[in-house]
A and B are shown apart, each in its own frame.
Chain A
Amino acid sequence: MLSFIMRRFLTAIPTLLVIVTISFFLIRLAPGGPFDLERPLEAKVMENLNRIYQLDKPLIQQYWLYLSAVMHGDFGPSFILRDFSVGELFARGLPISMTLGALAITLAILVGGTLGTIAALRQNSLADYIVTGLGAMGLTIPNFVVAPVLQIVLGLALAWLPVAGWADGSPRNLVMPVIVLALPQIAVVARMTRAAMIENLRSNHIRTLRSLGLPWHVIVTHALRGASLPVISYLGPAAAALLTGSVVVETIFGLPGIGRYFVEGALNRDYTLVMGTVVVVAVFVLIFNLVVDILYAVVDPRIRFD
């Protein structure tokens, strides 16, 4: 197991390298640069800026410079938010996005898993139809619709919760963004759990448990363990996406997470910010894929790492 994890870390290095390389050159293909404004800057100023940020050097040299800096953990200065380095921006924003994402994914597992299980146990009953219907709604109604509706109802009409803002992570400020982030995930987890539970409950080994006259909770426990496998493999990439922030949710609720940096960075040609976001997202995806593989092996003894 340990050697497996070590091997995975080693293979992650070339993967990251490929991702960094491709995105470095891709963003440079986009027309324009970080200092192109609507009213063009003076040629002299532009030249100075380019020299300071080393954008006047040949592209391949810039690539090497960036790569060696990243190796030392330096993501460079942001081109647009000029008082901050990319590292500082992430140090501030990442904990916020991760808090929201972690809460959302937990909520999705608890609520989605429970709803899916209930639906599977009462297949083709009213409860099942309600869960399936709500699941379809959770998936299809976009978060930029759900978020303002919640803001109007809970924030303005009922005035139970603050409409927006971070407020140092006060729980009251977290409720709405977490719900909006979690809703589509709840829907997916519920659907997947339902399908996997139905399949498991029909399996031969569950029939064996029933033939042995074992109580309901034993049967459900066994079926849940088997049904968790497909859900786990879905949750890995989903968790990586949630923990690295959501543009829409962070913008609507005015939260200083990192979700908006990717879009802002790309639109403003803030090369270092975009690259930093790419690296962070890639690292999260790689870590969570590894977590999925380890969890899989813990749940399913047939998986072996050799």
Chain B
Amino acid sequence: MADPVLTVRNLNVRFRTGDGILHAVKGIDLDVNAGETVAIVGESGSGKSQTMMSVMGLLASNGWAEGSVKYRGDELVGLSPDKLNRYRGSKLTMIFQEPMTSLDPLYRIGEQLALPLTTHGGLSKAEARRRAIELLELVRIPDPQRRIDSYPHEMSGGQRQRVMIAMALANNPDVLIADEPTTALDVTVQARILELLADLQKRLGMSIVFITHDLGIVRRFADRTYVMKRGEVVESGATSDIFAAPKHPYTQMLIDAEPRGTKEPAPAGSPLVLDARDVKVSFVLKSNLFGQPTHVLNAVDGVSLSVRAGETVGVVGESGSGKSTLGRAVLRLQSASGMVRFEDRNLMPLDRAGMRPLRRHLQLVFQDPFGSLSPRMTAGEIVTEGLLVHEPRISRRDRDRRAAQAFEEVRLEPGWRNRFPHEFSGGQRQRIAIARAMILHPKLVVLDEPTSALDRSVQKEIVELLRDLQKAHGLAYVFISHDLAVVRALSDEIMVMKNGKVVERGSAEEIFERPREDYTRDLIAAAFLKERGVAAPTPATLAS
């Protein structure tokens, strides 16, 4: 074991900010041995990314590192970029969280792959091209001879991350640092990328440092784990030991934060709130000279959905499967064909004005708690804005009282209602977004990935809040998510969507215990294989 490639001692990272100096990493020690996989876990803001950014000399210009980072005995801290370039890209490499933007959109894949090869490996252009094709093969990009001349925008997120991995592995590095490499990808793609990394490690023998918030990945892949909180390592050791007997309360909390449990069923005989039949939404991608559509995307293709009071229907599927469009269509926020009934009224013939009195019963909560709140309004104004439309008669004081009540209901300090959105954390903002929906006493709430942008421990709180609100008010939920762990914890019934169609539906138990479709099995395997220690995905999924 004692063959350290990377030794970090008393590393401190600080940033000069408008509010003074931010001490992001506080004197941590860390070792990476040859050929092993090390995970650094922690929630956002724990300093896990900045630790590795400082190893690579990639801190933002207002940040600096102090302490010691040694690669096989050579000190890296304080090296000029030129000297650091002897290690970066050849001995130490890194892949990032944002596969969509990490490649230069203006250059072909082949040109970008050739850069580390010609710079560090001293290859000629022709040799670099040959090697680049080999690398694309290595990361299992189909048809590499042709794909090498593609531009990044012609590839999917998963493929771009594979290209990033190929670039990182170009010069057979000793250490590959992977900063949340799969967080931005669909679950099934995630599983394949992780498989690929594990397989490449076996073949090439490099060490991998995983920076992640996902304990599933840690449990499945990491030999050793460091748990970080607020810039410090609070616990470290063999992964199996940490999971078997977490010592630090923070680690216990993280492990405990994995969504568990199932929802209590809705009371029998609850009235039907939403009944949608054969909903279709299509988008014209291309039309000819006379405006007649030539290419049409059927985003939602004949989907039926009904929800009773107190019931949750989970809609799962990968991005592009049409689940969000379906959510908008049943709220009549997206023009669609088919039939949508709310209680006893047919919504389809209603125009905007006709829908307005019903809007208060039909609410929507979005994924992005940062983009969906107006930065120029106070939290209280945001929450009560709907009242201005639906209860225009109530006084300013009454509105303020209602805001305070709504804040209490979502367990936010009512005194905070005069603050602006940027003063709240992601989880608190999502609570504000929920309060904005709840203040109107809705009957149906469409929750579009409400927890996906949040840390696990915050996710758990939001899931509990949603469950409690549902129970208290008999709300009907349509819960849209790609995260099956959260869906299982909240849903009575689950619909699995793919390419605009429902491929499978059933009770939560049926779907998870006895999935019939391969696609459903893929989604479940991808989301839970790590947790259950199930074997790799089937060869069929890897080939596709």
Contacts and interface: CB of A to CB of B under 8 A. Distances in A.
Nearest to B120: A213
B102 interface: yes
Interface string A219-250: 00010011000000000000000000000000
A170 interface: no
A205 B106 CA distance: 10
Contacts of A222: 104, 106-107
Q: Interface residue tally of chain B, by bracket?
A: 35 or more
Interface in A203-221: 203-216, 218
A302 B153 CA distance: 7
Contacts of A209: 104, 115
B115 A214 contact: yes
Contact of B102 (A204, A214, A218, A299): A204
Summarize A's interface: helix, strand, loop or mixed: helix
Interface residues of A, number: 24
B119 A300 contact: no
Contact of B115 (A203, A207, A218, A301): A218
A301 B106 CA distance: 6
A208 B108 CA distance: 15
A301 B56 contact: no
A211 B57 CA distance: 8
Interface string B78-109: 00011011111110011010100111111110
Given A213-B89, A215-B85, A203 B106 contact: no
A300 B359 CA distance: 43
Contact of B89 (A207, A211, A225, A300): A211
Nearest to B57: A210
A291 to B, nearest CB: 19
Contacts of B106: 222, 225-226, 299-301
A205 B104 contact: yes
Nearest to B286: A306
A194 to B, nearest CB: 15
A123 interface: yes
Interface centre among A207, A212, A214, A215 (most CB of B within 10 A): A212
Interface string A33-49: 00000000000000000
Interface of B: 56-58, 60-61, 81-82, 84-90, 93-94, 96, 98, 101-108, 115-116, 119-120, 151, 153, 164, 167-168
6 contacts: A209-B115, A211-B96, A215-B82, A216-B81, A218-B115, A301-B106
Q: Which 5 A-B pairs have the closest CB atoms?
A: A213-B88, A213-B89, A212-B89, A213-B85, A205-B104
Given A211-B168, A212-B89, 6 more contacts: A204-B102, A212-B168, A213-B88, A213-B89, A213-B90, A216-B81
